[in-house]
Structure 1
């Protein structure tokens, strides 16, 4: 005969389990079904050609196949500085020219190079100068008069080979990072990164013997450096450093990291992949919240701490156009979300970064697409 007290205990445990299960399901359901009151989208500014015209530094210019349209045919390499709206084009005629957004040539510098040299790249500076990468790992710094002010070799001197060196900087070029994405030593792919000090000397800030660098980015204000690394069979890792190279924390995402953003107060880090967004505390490393988006790929995501809200954009990309555009607002405190479709195609360029500016509570402006959009989110 069963002990009646034992039967009652089992029954109570079962009831407690069922109540907990129902409550958990309710919370999960509330997270996915608790919607914002509204998300409104309106056009602040739309260029004449919605496909390839963009606004930078209060001026409009046209991009065709990644290069400014005012550059004559034969453009070999081009870079746009979003702080000043200046673009530099290295032309196949043997010189480098600096243009304003209206197509005016600001300066021209003779330079002889081979058209098939993939290591040639130019980087525009907001002061009218530029940086030229040549010979895989050498960087020439030109001032606004077209004179060389500094020359830096970023070669690792590895006898087993290395990838072409890259440069990352904030728009004002206050923080400049030179990095070797891949350095092969003893048959293993490693990497390194250095900051360029004001006196032109480099200081090593990152070294890995077994992880290659996917990309390096400097935050818009120049205060943070993110080094994203990968190793086959492991998650991507981002090492976040301050502008002096001091490591603040490291974070991972179980998918390839596409982009990161640090909040203006420096307290939160937003990571995104093609289908997932996550927000972390910079100091503690705690994940504040995350969400998956299954409609298209994610092309933008940022966290607004004032409203504890993630704003994300997903779409299907075809060339330089985004179609089936959706905006997503996720409130981490309310555990609620909202989606809003945008019925028009938008022009996008890898040369023009997307930025979200907060006007006031619940009101934001997204720039960097062919149409500047105002978003209003009310919870």
Structure 2
């Protein structure tokens, strides 16, 4: 069936049998833009501190924070009387771990903390330097993704699977004379990194590691050329690449990694991961915030909207479900706006056939699609 589908262009029409119901999970219905539904609790995160409404506790000022991929734990980097300290907290405000970090510059704008579902914590303690702490608070390994380019480079970023099997450190932009390149490395166990990608003239726009840590997508670009999604294994072997005229924003694997979806602000395209066979695509009338493909249902699920200037708030929202097998589209507008955070990943999760949940925003959104 998929081999036939790749020859059709999915047209944005609405049939008669499809529907999409959108609802807000009750416990998050009253959340303001800075209060997020994490795990089973709501947590408020603002410049003045992190508070836990269920317990009434407040965690005061902090340098940086992060949330695990399953939204069950928070990592917080805090300046204390005894120096910089890392805290690993549950959404009930229970402290799972607390330990001092290496010396930090508190004014460093690149400080970042990335907690893993395993209980380990990755710390970006400089522009390109990273330190991984184990569950006991001891340094497990460290490494740098810096290029030492005389032309300068951007702050290094992180992409990883939930358990940290593959921790990808990448420098999105490296100035190389008149060109802009990039590089990506995998943090290894022996206080070093393994180089898996380098380009002197293509910069990295987005990176994703599959949930099992085996595969990587790098979305790269070069001025006056088409964007390219490069698929690698965790050792840096290039498995495939997909070139498109779309101005790509991101790419994600399906649960079994057999397919992937790449999307721009107006279009989402699904491919077979290894063969580049095009499974289907769809266009959107409004800017696309996120799109994922659920192969079990042959369905692309997405949300569009406009970002409020100088905020992390999105409004004019509309949810979409596109069935590639039946070539049907269902849409539903969402009244109100949603708050997000750069430190909290947003994603659609599949609950059952045709049932999906958007998490990582201030309100948890439930979708029910039928075709």
In structure 1, runs of 5+ residues without a counterpart are: 1-26
Q: Number of residues paired by the alignment?
A: 351
CA drift at 1:221: 3.1
Runs of 4+ deviating beyond 4 Å? 27-31, 198-201
More helix by share: 1
1:34 and 2:15 aligned: yes
Q: Is the 8 A contact 2:141 2:189 kept in 1?
A: no
TM-score if structure 2 supplies the norm length?
0.84
Q: Aligned equivalents of 1:62 and 1:309: distance in 2?
A: 33
Q: Aligned equivalents of 1:119 and 1:64: distance in 2?
A: 18
1:267 and 2:255 aligned: no
What CA deviation, in whole Å up to 9, does each residue of 1:111-135 have, x standing for no partner?
Answer: 5433332233222233433222234
1:83 and 2:64 aligned: no
What CA deviation, in whole Å up to 9, does each residue of 1:13-61 have, x standing for no partner?
Answer: xxxxxxxxxxxxxx98975243542212233443242433323343432
Q: Aligned equivalents of 1:30 and 1:237: distance in 2?
A: 24
Which residue of 30, 35, 40 corresponds with 1:58?
Answer: 40
Range moving further from structure 2, 195-204 or 29-38: 29-38
What CA deviation, in whole Å up to 9, does each residue of 1:257-297 have, x standing for no partner?
Answer: 222211112221111222221111212213222222123x2
2:55 maps to none
TM-score if structure 1 supplies the norm length?
0.82
Q: Is the 8 A contact 1:36 1:338 kept in 2?
A: no
Q: Aligned equivalents of 1:306 and 1:186: distance in 2?
A: 47
2:106 maps to 115
Q: Which has the larger radius of gyration?
A: 1
- CA change 1:254–1:148 in 2 (3 A) is same
Q: Is the 8 A contact 1:45 1:373 kept in 2?
A: no
Range moving further from structure 2, 341-350 or 203-212: 341-350
**CA-based RMSD:** 2.7
Q: Aligned equivalents of 2:88 and 2:11: distance in 1?
A: 53
Q: Is the 8 A contact 2:12 2:283 kept in 1?
A: no
In structure 2, runs of 5+ residues without a counterpart are: 1-7, 52-57
2:93 maps to 103
Q: Aligned equivalents of 2:10 and 2:60: distance in 1?
A: 57
1:68 maps to 50
CA drift at 1:186: 4.5
1:376 maps to 368
Range moving further from structure 2, 311-320 or 48-57: 48-57
